[in-house]
Amino acid sequence: MSKQLILVLILILSLSACAGMKRSGSSFTAHAESLNLIGFRIPGDEYPRALEKVPAGAQVHTMTSNPSDLQSVVGVLNRIIGISYTEISGTTKQ
């Protein structure tokens, strides 16, 4: 039983540590996700990881993140256990 639990936890942690970028013509979308467990973000803050996926010289149009504050019910619940994400969209010169 404990081996299965460890395997499930490793799977969840590996899936939550995603960061990447999608490009279509001159448009791009960069994203990163982190798992929140009792206030800790695994593998860390997703904003810098999403920002490093943005191409050099790109013009950022939108940045979206889920609530991770400690002043709203959704933010508190998400910091206890949840997934944080950041998405950055914009255009590049071709």
Smallest CA-to-CA distance from 29 within 61, 73, 57 is with: 61
- Pairwise pLDDT comparison (8 vs 68), residue with the higher score: 8
**Total count of domains within the chain:** 1
CA-based angle 87:92:27, to the nearest 5?
A: 55
The answer to whether 40 touches 79, Cβ cutoff 8 Å, is no
Name every residue whose Cβ is closer than 8 Å to that of residue 88 and which is 6 or more positions away in sequence.
29, 30, 31, 50, 51, 53, 54, 60, 62, 63, 64
How far apart (Å, rounded) are the C-alpha atoms in residues 50 and 44?
Answer: 11
pLDDT digits over 5-37, tens only?
Answer: 888 877 776 666 788 999 999 999 999 998 888
Domain that holds residue 87: 2-91
pTM strictly above 0.85 = no
Residue 81: what pLDDT? Answer: 84
